[in-house]
Structure 1
Amino acid sequence: MIEINQLSKMYPGGKGIKDLSFEVKQGEIFGFLGPNGAGKTTTIRILMGFLRPDSGAAKIRGRDTWQERTGLKRIIGYLPGELHFFDRLSAQEILLLFIQMHGNHSKLKENYKKLIKRFDLDIRQPVWKMSKGMKQKLGLISAFMLNAEILLLDEPTSGLDPLMQKVFIDLVLEEKEKGTTVLMSSHQFSEIEKTCGRVGMIREGELLTVEDIAQLKQIKRQTFDIRTKNEEAAQYLRQSGLHILHEEGLSFRIETSGNLNVLWRVLAETQIEEFHQQPLELEETFMQYYH
């Protein structure tokens, strides 16, 4: 459905993308992972026909995204990484404007009413009064309501609270059931892990690899802070074979990767006073993978 072949687009100063090649199959949810400035947004803008590549090709359904940029927009739902709406219009006026720009008005109105309810968005407010999270909801509604064959989503959960992130994940999985093709860039490892079958990892404009999400999980490392109740329990932990990053008295920082069954088995046989899981930063995962 989406084909990218030796795609390059360079900006003054050396930033951009270099010889990217990957494809997204019909009905697949494909994650596009990378730190800020890696080239994710540039790639998506080329797919949208907003940028002309310096070399290489980007195609959707076999059609060049620059040469046929107008026609292809009829089958794409798009969420940009930076949202800009008409500030003086209300959310309702903006959504109705988008509906008027597409066909099948009655179906789209039905869709957007359902999405408004799911995202709990007050559509009477003018955009200039909206928070970042409310604008993000408006952008997601405008992308999902079109029943598009393809969704291009650039940092889709930016500014959303955990409840709305869950709503988003549910929507993406529903689109997968319908056979929609989704390319989604993100910093959020958790949302990629829950929705995508494959991921492409990009750094400094170059594609490092395309991996099945199951393989990527095997290299994901997690860190836990543990405090034992006594020295006997601490000694048991030392001899357990777990990877201890740091130790101070009865307190330990332990790192694991892949399957956590060994950790749970050791903890079940140890007297533990405190247990905390450290949040996993996506950039940390990238660095581990790069090494």
Structure 2
Amino acid sequence: MNVIEINNLTKMYGKSRGITDISFNVEEGEIFGFIGPNGAGKSTTIRTLLSLIYPTSGSAKIFGKDSVKDAPEIKKQIGYLPSEVFYYDNMKVMDLLKYSASFYKKDCSKRIKYLAEILDLDLTKKIDDLSLGNKKKVGIVQGLLHEPKLIILDEPTSGLDPLMQQKFFHLLEEENKKGATILFSSHILSEVQRLCNRVAIIKEGKLVTVEKISTLQENNYKKIKINIQKEIPKDYFQLEGVTKLEVKNNMISFLYRGNINTILRLITELEIVNLWIEEPDLEEIFMHYYEKEA
């Protein structure tokens, strides 16, 4: 079953670009990554999905219901952390969280204390006195305090130190094991690589691809580096499947996608000092998608 269904979602700001024809589904129980550089349209997609802003065209469903028409009902089951959080400065953290909890008509006080303990958040402080990282923690607790079925996170780790990021990831994995579906938006590939099963890549408001993380990393790409004795013609490795080719003196490096035997035949013709064949990291694959689109 799909928890999120996005169909040809388009949002224009006058004549300026927002997002164009975005379509993807998020399955129940999945941790789904939504990735692209800052300004690619991730937040616009999420805000439109949550009907915080209305689409120019296209539609979205959450739990099989229309995200605009059924918004009040849907939002009871969703935990949302925006990329930037703003609060009433004079409120104490606990008062703010109790106020948030009051919308869900259930006692969340145990849950608030549990989350605050994990994230090392002082509930007695005023919002005004908190650092950026601690304000982010308030947002995380606020998004999770009612044990939502769907958690939507927009750049959730900005402001958190590395140790706190690890605790936060553990917390998300725990929620996922309990059955929560998670949409995780980020421009940091290692986060997505660690948490997600599938990923949608967005660029300049358009969807580039939706892939399983394992497919992105699979054997269809190899990172090859060769140290040779003699220089070779510049076009020696210019064949289909070779990208990011760099030749510097006696060092050659490139990404290769295709029949490994074809490339090995070319390599064995050379006088090799050393050879490295590795799996590329997601970062390199991601850049390949971006360049290919360009």
**TM range, smaller chain:** 0.7 to 0.9
1:144-193 Cα distance to aligned partner (Å, 9 max, x none): 12110101110011111100110111111112211211111001211111
1:217 equivalent to 2:217? Answer yes
Residue 140 of structure 1 aligns to a residue whose secondary structure is helix
AA matched with 1:115: L
Aligned-residue sequence identity (percent) comes to 40
2:89 to 71, 87, 90: 87
More helix by share: 1
The answer on whether the counterparts of 2:4 and 2:26 sit within 8 Å (CA) in structure 1 is: yes
Residue 104 of structure 1 aligns to a residue whose secondary structure is coil
1:94 deviates by: 0.8
Residue 8 of structure 2 aligns to a residue whose secondary structure is strand
Partners of 1:178 and 1:192 in 2: how far apart?
A: 20
Partners of 1:222 and 1:147 in 2: how far apart?
A: 42
1:217-237 Cα distance to aligned partner (Å, 9 max, x none): 24889899xxxxxxxxx889x
Give the equivalent residue in structure 2 for 1:152: 152
Give the equivalent residue in structure 1 for 2:69: 67
Cα distance 1:235–1:209, how it changes in 2: closer, same or farther (>3 A)? closer
Q: Which blocks of at least 5 consecutive residues in structure 1 are unaligned? A: 225-233, 259-269, 271-279
Structural mapping, 1:240-255, within 5 Å: none
TM-score (normalised: structure 2): 0.77
Cα distance 1:58–1:235, how it changes in 2: closer, same or farther (>3 A)? closer
The answer on whether the counterparts of 1:51 and 1:66 sit within 8 Å (CA) in structure 2 is: no
The answer on whether the counterparts of 2:217 and 2:282 sit within 8 Å (CA) in structure 1 is: no
The answer on whether the counterparts of 2:193 and 2:282 sit within 8 Å (CA) in structure 1 is: no
Deviating above 3 A after TM superposition, structure 1's stretches of 4 or more consecutive aligned residues are 218-224, 243-249, 252-258
1:48 deviates by: 1.6
Root-mean-square deviation (CA, aligned residues, Å) is 3.0
Partners of 2:134 and 2:247 in 1: how far apart?
A: 42
Partners of 2:222 and 2:83 in 1: how far apart?
A: 28
Matched positions, count: 255
Q: Which blocks of at least 5 consecutive residues in structure 2 are unaligned? A: 232-243, 258-272, 274-280
1:286 deviates by: 3.1
The answer on whether the counterparts of 1:202 and 1:209 sit within 8 Å (CA) in structure 2 is: yes
1:99-142 Cα distance to aligned partner (Å, 9 max, x none): 1221221xx11111111111101122211221111111110111
